[in-house]
C-alpha cells in the first residue's frame, strides 16, 4: 500500500509506479470526505489537469469518486493551468479545486494539488486532514464517468475562457498591444500555451505544442532548461522580453532583450517597485526563506513590512488569505500579487512585468537598474546535488549539530534555520543548504555581489559538505 503524503506543493509520484489510477482514487476519496466535512448544501469541486501523460484519465477517475460521494464536479474539456483551476474555484464558489499536475517535475512524474475555496493552496493543517482521510484501499463500486455526466453530477466548463476574461479586466492589454515591445513566450510544452496564444497573438512562440514527455526535460523555467528561448532572443534585434512558464503555468522565468535570464529574486523586486512606487499599492511583502536579502533592503527603503516563511507556497498563501499582502513570492518562480487570487501565476506575473515596461517605456534591464540604485547589484545561484539518501542525511545532521565552522575559504557569522540552513557570510551574502521536499535532491544556494562569487561560494560549500 502506497502511503500518500503531500509535500511542499501536493502529492507527486512516478506514473504507473505509485501514481496509479487506484492511488489517485484513494486520494480523491480522502478529498471527498474533507469536502463533505464542510457541510455545504450542494458541495462542488473544480477538477483540472495539465499536459502531462494521463491527465484526462486521472481527472475522470477523480470525478467518479467525488460524484459517487454526491459532490458535483466541474471539469474542463482540455488541459488548463493550475491558476485557471484556482480562479474557477473562487469565482464559481466551489468548495475545493483539484489539479492533476506534477508542476516542474520530470515527465515521468504526475501529481495531485488541492486548492481551497479561497482560490489558493489548502493550508498545511487542512492537507493533514485530507491525508488522514485517505483510505488504504477502496471497496466502493464507482460508476462510469459518462453515467455521472448523464445525471448532472459532472459538468463541463470553459475554465480557460473564465481566466482570459479576468486577465482582460485587470491587465492593460491595449497598452501592451500599442507599446511596440516585442515578446517571446516559451510554454515548455505546458498548460500556458493556449492562453498565451490568445493573450499575446503577435508574440514569438516556442514549445507550444502537445508533448506529454516535455521532450525529455523537466518543465522548470530555469536558465539551463531554456537555452532555446535565450538563444532566440540573443540573436534577435527585436524581442524585448522573454517569458517562460512551467508545466502547469504557475511558475515564471524571464529574459531581457539580450537573452539574459532574469530570476525570480529580481522579479519580486521589480513587482515591489511597480506595485508600490508606480501604482501606489501597499501591503506586506511575504517571501520564502531562500529568497534574496535585497527584498529586506527594498522593503526598508519603502517602509513596507516583510515576513519570511518556510519554503512552499502554501505557507505564503496562508499569509495572503489572513493579512494585507502586496506580494508573496518564492525563489522557485512562484509569485502572487495583490488584486489577483492567492495563487502563483506565471502568465499573470509575466503580463504584469510587461505592463510595467509599457507604462514606463523602459526595458527590463533599465527597470532592474532602478532597483540596483536602491539595493545594489547581486546574484543568487543554486546547485541541485543528486546524492544518496545516506549522504543527504549526513549533511543535514552536520548542519543540525553545528559541525560546519566554515565552507572552504568562506567563514560565516551567523545561521538561521527557518527551513533549511542559511549561513550568513555578512549582512546580505549567504549560503543555504536544504533538502528538496519532492525530489531526491540536496539544494545549495548562494547570494553574492555577482554570479562568479556566488558560484565560488557554491563550489567551496559543495567540497566542504561532500568530503
Q: Minimal CA–CA distance to 431: which of 397, 392, 403, 459?
A: 459
- The set of cell numbers assigned to 42 is 450542494
CATH 3.30.310.50 residue spans of the chain: 379-466
| Whole-angstrom distance, CA of residue 354 vs CA of residue 360 | 10
Residue holding cell 491587465? 171
Residue holding cell 474533507? 34
Count other C-beta atoms under 10 Å from residue 280's C-beta.
Answer: 7
Q: What is the pLDDT of residue 140?
A: 86
Is-contact 329 335, C-beta < 8 A? yes
* Yes or no: domain 171-375 corresponds to CATH 3.40.120.10: yes
Distances (CA, A) of 234 to 95, 181, 262, 380: 46, 16, 14, 22
Q: What is the pLDDT of residue 314?
A: 87
CATH 3.40.120.10 residue spans of the chain: 11-162, 171-375
Q: What is the pLDDT of residue 237?
A: 87
Please give the average pLDDT of every successive group of 10 residues along the chain, which has 467 residues: 83 95 97 96 97 97 98 97 98 98 94 96 93 93 96 98 97 96 97 98 96 94 95 95 97 97 97 98 97 97 97 91 96 93 97 98 97 97 90 92 94 94 90 81 94 96 92
DSSP letter for 272, please: H
| Whole-angstrom distance, CA of residue 261 vs CA of residue 230 | 8
Helices 21-37 and 124-133: angle between axes, nearest 10 degrees: 120
State residue 253 phi and psi, 5-degree precision: -135, 145
∠47-51-56 over CA atoms, to 5°? 45
Q: List, in order, residues 6 or more apart from 93 with CB less than 8 Å away.
A: 44, 117
- The domain 11-162 is placed in CATH, from the list 3.10.290.10, 3.40.120.10, 1.20.120.80, 1.20.120.450, at 3.40.120.10
Q: What is the pLDDT of residue 159?
A: 98
Helices 21-37 and 55-68: angle between axes, nearest 10 degrees: 40
Q: What is the pLDDT of residue 333?
A: 87
pLDDT tens for each residue of 176-211: 999 999 999 999 999 999 999 999 999 999 999 999
Burial pattern 454-464, b for ≥16 Cβ within 10 A else e, equals bbbbbebbbeb
Q: Minimal CA–CA distance to 191: which of 56, 356, 73, 10?
A: 56
| Whole-angstrom distance, CA of residue 326 vs CA of residue 348 | 15
Q: What is the pLDDT of residue 325?
A: 98
CATH code at 379-466: 3.30.310.50
| Whole-angstrom distance, CA of residue 228 vs CA of residue 251 | 18
Element (H or E) spanning 67, and its range?
helix 55-68
pLDDT tens for each residue of 419-465: 999 999 987 789 999 987 656 789 999 999 999 999 999 999 999 99
pLDDT tens for each residue of 269-286: 999 999 999 999 999 999
Global model pTM greater than 0.75: yes
Amino acid at each position: 500500500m502506497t502511503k500518500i503524503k503531500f509535500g511542499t506543493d501536493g502529492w507527486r509520484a512516478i506514473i504507473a509506479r505509485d501514481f496509479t489510477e487506484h492511488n489517485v482514487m484513494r486520494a480523491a476519496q480522502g478529498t471527498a470526505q474533507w469536502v463533505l466535512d464542510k457541510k455545504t448544501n450542494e458541495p462542488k469541486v473544480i477538477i483540472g489537469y495539465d499536459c502531462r501523460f494521463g491527465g484526462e484519465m486521472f481527472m475522470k477517475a477523480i470525478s467518479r469518486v467525488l460524484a459517487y460521494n454526491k459532490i458535483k464536479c466541474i471539469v474542463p474539456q482540455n488541459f488548463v493551468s493550475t491558476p485557471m483551476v484556482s480562479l474557477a474555484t473562487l469565482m464559481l464558489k466551489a468548495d475545493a479545486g483539484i489539479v492533476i499536475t506534477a508542476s516542474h517535475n520530470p515527465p515521468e512524474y504526475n501529481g495531485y494539488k488541492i486548492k481551497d475555496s479561497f482560490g489558493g493552496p489548502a493550508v498545511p493543517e487542512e492537507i493533514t486532514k485530507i491525508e488522514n482521510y485517505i483510505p488504504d484501499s477502496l471497496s466502493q463500486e464507482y460508476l462510469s464517468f459518462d453515467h455521472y455526466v448523464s445525471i448532472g453530477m459532472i459538468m463541463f466548463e470553459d475554465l480557460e475562457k473564465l481566466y482570459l476574461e479576468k486577465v482582460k479586466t485587470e491587465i492593460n492589454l491595449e497598452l501592451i498591444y500599442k507599446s511596440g515591445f516585442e515578446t517571446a513566450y516559451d510554454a515548455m510544452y505546458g498548460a500556458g500555451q493556449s492562453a498565451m496564444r490568445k493573450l499575446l497573438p503577435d508574440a514569438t512562440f516556442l514549445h507550444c505544442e502537445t508533448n506529454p514527455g516535455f521532450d525529455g526535460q523537466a518543465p522548470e523555467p530555469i536558465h539551463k532548461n531554456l537555452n532555446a528561448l535565450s538563444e532566440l532572443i540573443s540573436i534577435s534585434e527585436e524581442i524585448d522580453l522573454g517569458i517562460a512558464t512551467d508545466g502547469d503555468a504557475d511558475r515564471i522565468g524571464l529574459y531581457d532583450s539580450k537573452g539574459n535570464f532574469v530570476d525570480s529574486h529580481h522579479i519580486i523586486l521589480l513587482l515591489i517597485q511597480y506595485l508600490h512606487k508606480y501604482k501606489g499599492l501597499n501591503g506586506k511583502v511575504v517571501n520564502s526563506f531562500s529568497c534574496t536579502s535585497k527584498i529586506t533592503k527594498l522593503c526598508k527603503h519603502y517602509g513596507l513590512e516583510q515576513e519570511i516563511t518556510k519554503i512552499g507556497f502554501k505557507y505564503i498563501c496562508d499569509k495572503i488569505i489572513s493579512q494585507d499582502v502586496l506580494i508573496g513570492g518564492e525563489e522557485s518562480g512562484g509569485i502572487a500579487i495583490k488584486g489577483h487570487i492567492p495563487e502563483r501565476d506565471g502568465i499573470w506575473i509575466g503580463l504584469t512585468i510587461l505592463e510595467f515596461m509599457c507604462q514606463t517605456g523602459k526595458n527590463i534591464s533599465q527597470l532592474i537598474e532602478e532597483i540596483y540604485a536602491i539595493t545594489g547589484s547581486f546574484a543568487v545561484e543554486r546547485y541541485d546535488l543528486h546524492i544518496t539518501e545516506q549522504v543527504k542525511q549526513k549533511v543535514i545532521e552536520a548542519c543540525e549539530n553545528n559541525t560546519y565552522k566554515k565552507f572552504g575559504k568562506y567563514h560565516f557569522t551567523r545561521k538561521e534555520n527557518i527551513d533549511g540552513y542559511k549561513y550568513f557570510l555578512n549582512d546580505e551574502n549567504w549560503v543555504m543548504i536544504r533538502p528538496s521536499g519532492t525530489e531526491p535532491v540536496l539544494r545549495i544556494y548562494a547570494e553574492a555581489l555577482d554570479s562568479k562569487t556566488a558560484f565560488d561560494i557554491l563550489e567551496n560549500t559543495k567540497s566542504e559538505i561532500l568530503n
